[in-house]
Amino acid sequence: MQPFCGEIYIEDPQLGKKSLYALVGEDGLGTTIIELHNANPPRGGSTLIGIYGARWTLKRVQRKFFLTVYELAILDEGSWTKVRCLAGNKFAGMLERAIQSLK
């Protein structure tokens, strides 16, 4: 599998508007991993929020013509914070297939 990265756009009244980036790739053993970053990963630095399942989850709420609406849950200091976010349908489909491959 070729690694890929895409934007998840948070649109939340309390947290404001912010872009996060999901990076899908493989570890050294061929296992799919999905990381969430607070900046575009190739830029370097420590931008990792966490790995899918351990620190964050994603649940599809609605699919629109160009966008998919999700509920993003992020583990922060022992409690889960849920926010509404959007992703383009093409990236959303790729991300959902990667998540399904984890199960």
* Domain chopping of the chain, boundaries: 4-102
pTM of the model: 0.87
Say whether pLDDT at 54 is over 80. Answer: yes
CA dihedral 19, 22, 23, 28 (to 10 degrees): 140
Cα gap 43→51, rounded to integer Å: 18
Would you state the pLDDT for residue 59? 96
pLDDT tens, 3-40? 899 999 998 887 789 999 999 998 878 888 999 998 88
Q: Domain 4-102 is of which CATH architecture?
A: Roll (2.30)
